[in-house]
Amino acid sequence: MCGIIGIVGKGPVNQLIYDGLTMLQHRGQDAAGMVTWEDGRLHLRKNNGMVRDVFHTRHMLQLRGNVGIGHVRYPTAGCSSAAEAQPFYVNSPYGICLAHNGNLTNSETLKRDLFIEDLRHLNTESDSEVLLNVFAHELQQMRKLRLEVDDIFNAVSGLHRRCRGGYAAIAIINGSGILAFRDPHGIRPVVFGQRQTEQGTEYMIASESVALDVLGFQLIRDLEPGEAVFISMDGELHTRQCADNPRYAPCIFEHVYLARPDSIIDGISVYKARLRMGEKLARRILRERPNHDIDVVIPIPDTSRTAALPLAYELGVKYREGFVKNRYIPRTFIMPGQAVRKKSVRQKLNAIELEFKDKNVLLVDDSIVRGTTSREIVQMAREAGAKNVYVASAAPPVRYPNVYGIDMPAADEFIAHGRSVDEICKEIGADWLVYQDMDDLIQAASKGNPIIEAFDTSCFTGEYVTGDVSQDYLDQISCARSDDAKNQREAGEDNLRDLTNSA
């Protein structure tokens, strides 16, 4: 769940893209990048780090032009090296840069095809470089010096036929304009909007509408599954459905955790969806424990706060912010490696003792994945003097890997894997644990837009909307991307760097 952005403006776009990327920072904290276009030249800056660390004044001065794209990365493929930061660039045909949110599930096959049949070299392990090269190859097939809009859309159709998985992407094609497309299930989000200036209309495309709001763009709409939007360098907008069998099935985890609450995704207010999750969870609690003895509801900041408030209200119990969040520690779930995640939960959250002392507290989180947060937090609540510690999760147990752009590759890393709810409760050290029902979660999201009848719920149900995720593939990613595998790889990379330095 990286963040992507693209702007065709009437003046310099570097500061707009920088500001937009900071609004999408919650989608990727590992690396950031931006490319701008100016009279046939592409200016690129990307590196590991948060947006504020990657772009310094000297870089911003270089990022000239009225058209550009940007990316914040949370790796789901390859490694976390700066070489895999995005946008990626390919010089032929035309000069293209691409920023990708999602994960391809057939990238190994595509890599082979690209090398053997399309004679293309890939320089990293990133699936996004694969996506860019597939697109570049499809465009090259047109054999045109000057591209027509239909050529570009036909290339996207060709890409849809070859690529599998989740992908929302924005590309800049030298001399032509900016293109965005969304996979045929619309798994990852993309919206576009416009704003009027004295020089004419400016267009913006982004992962989440919050980036448009803050930069003063009005939301036009979401891209539909399989659809593409193209905005020429001089600001003409075109859209086309490019997939043969598009079917809406967006990722429900965007509504649970990934997206900001002030975004609207596929016509659904994420904020309202979370409020409904809280209400539904309260009703479940009342069904299971009509005579509960909860004294106070305490959210686990940040994401669960939206759901915890209506939950407390429905229960008729006080809502108290018993944990204070250190605003300088970012999201822990998307940090790379268990040791840093665990340490960061302690640095991030601190208990206010008086809200816990001698009370039966209900701690509310949006989701429990590896259990890093809940294990620590339950212990902190006890240390703060709580009498009984209950935990409620606004999403059902996460038991299956995600393969569409969330880095949850190894089922045995999830606390709910192979455990009953009672066993999970024991594992996190709580006195009682309750999860949201799957149907309630789907209703909480779909009520915002009844047109969307299906969601990708794979991490809860093991049903993958693309219908082509084999056990073999799941075994492969578990092997390649588990925390252990990453640790080993990173140790190897350090050795390599040392060797390189000493050479």
Show which residues are catalytic: 2
**Separation between Cα atoms, residue 237 and residue 244, nearest integer Å:** 22
Which residue has 């993309």 as its token pair? 190
**Separation between Cα atoms, residue 203 and residue 17, nearest integer Å:** 12
Q: Is the dihedral of CA 390, 323, 318, 283 positive or negative?
A: negative
Burial label, 347 (beta-carbon count in 10 A; 0-12, 13-18, 19+):
exposed
> In angstroms, what is the minimal distance from the CB of 455 to ligand GLN?
18
**Separation between Cα atoms, residue 285 and residue 283, nearest integer Å:** 5
* Closest CB to ligand GLN among residues 227, 254: 254
366 is in an annotated binding site: yes
From the list 121-129, 312-320, 384-392, 450-458, the region that binds ligand GLN by CB under 6 A is 121-129
Does 366 engage in binding with ligand PRP (CB under 6 A)?
A: yes
From the list ligand PRP, ligand GLN, Mg ion, none, partner contacted by residue 208 (C-beta under 5 to 8 A by kind)? none
> In angstroms, what is the minimal distance from the CB of 13 to Mg ion?
33
From the list 67-75, 177-185, 292-300, 358-366, the region that binds ligand GLN by CB under 6 A is 67-75
From the list ligand GLN, Mg ion, ligand PRP, none, partner contacted by residue 14 (C-beta under 5 to 8 A by kind)? none
- DSSP annotation of 362 reads E
* Closest CB to ligand PRP among residues 420, 495: 420
Query: 232 - beta bridge partners?
Result: 177
* Closest CB to ligand PRP among residues 253, 432: 253
Interacting positions 81-120 with ligand GLN (CB under 6 A): 84, 100-103
b/e for 353-391, b at 16 or more Cβ within 10 A? eebbeebbbbbbbbbbbbbbbbbbbbebbbebebebbbb
From the list 51-59, 129-137, 171-179, 371-379, the region that binds ligand PRP by CB under 6 A is 371-379
From the list ligand GLN, ligand PRP, Mg ion, none, partner contacted by residue 102 (C-beta under 5 to 8 A by kind)? ligand GLN
Note if the bond before 302 is cis, omega within 30 degrees: yes
> In angstroms, what is the minimal distance from the CB of 497 to ligand GLN?
20
From the list ligand PRP, Mg ion, ligand GLN, none, partner contacted by residue 370 (C-beta under 5 to 8 A by kind)? ligand PRP
| Cβ proximity of 404 and 102 under 8 Å | yes
User: For ligand GLN, which residue has the nearest CB?
Assistant: 2
Does 368 engage in binding with ligand PRP (CB under 6 A)?
A: yes
By rule CB under 5 A, what string of x and - marks binding of each residue 323-362 to Mg ion?
Answer: ----------------------------------------
DSSP string for 399-412:
-S-B-SSSSB--GG
Which residue has 């669960």 as its token pair? 304
Binding-site size for ligand PRP (CB under 6 A) equals: 19
* Closest CB to ligand GLN among residues 61, 479: 479
| Cβ proximity of 20 and 204 under 8 Å | yes
* Closest CB to ligand PRP among residues 138, 365: 365
| Cβ proximity of 8 and 39 under 8 Å | no
* Closest CB to ligand GLN among residues 103, 133: 103
From the list ligand PRP, Mg ion, ligand GLN, none, partner contacted by residue 101 (C-beta under 5 to 8 A by kind)? ligand GLN
> In angstroms, what is the minimal distance from the CB of 349 to Mg ion?
9
Interacting positions 261-320 with Mg ion (CB under 5 A): 303
**Separation between Cα atoms, residue 412 and residue 410, nearest integer Å:** 6
* Closest CB to ligand PRP among residues 372, 446: 372
By rule CB under 6 A, what string of x and - marks binding of each residue 277-316 to ligand PRP?
Answer: -----------------------xxxx-------------
Residues 6+ apart with CB under 8 A from 337: 483, 486, 487
Helix, strand or coil, per DSSP, at residue 355? helix
**Separation between Cα atoms, residue 10 and residue 203, nearest integer Å:** 9
Q: Which amino acid is at 338?
A: Q
Interacting positions 126-165 with ligand GLN (CB under 6 A): 126-128
Alpha helices for 289-430 (secondary structure H) = 305-315, 338-348, 372-383, 421-428
365 is in an annotated binding site: yes
By rule CB under 6 A, what string of x and - marks binding of each residue 373-412 to ligand PRP?
Answer: xx--------------------------------------
From the list ligand PRP, Mg ion, ligand GLN, none, partner contacted by residue 368 (C-beta under 5 to 8 A by kind)? ligand PRP
Does 373 engage in binding with ligand GLN (CB under 6 A)?
A: no
**Separation between Cα atoms, residue 50 and residue 386, nearest integer Å:** 37
**Separation between Cα atoms, residue 206 and residue 69, nearest integer Å:** 9
Rounded alpha-carbon distances, angstroms, from residue 107 to 30, 90, 102? 22, 17, 12
**Separation between Cα atoms, residue 341 and residue 267, nearest integer Å:** 33
Binder among 369, 378, 381, 441 for ligand PRP (CB under 6 A): 369
Q: Give contact residues for ligand PRP (rule: CB under 6 A).
A: 257, 300-303, 331-334, 365-374
Detail the residues annotated as belonging to a binding site for Mg(2+): 303, 365-366
Q: Give contact residues for ligand GLN (rule: CB under 6 A).
A: 1-2, 73-78, 84, 100-103, 126-128, 405
Q: Give contact residues for Mg ion (rule: CB under 5 A).
A: 303
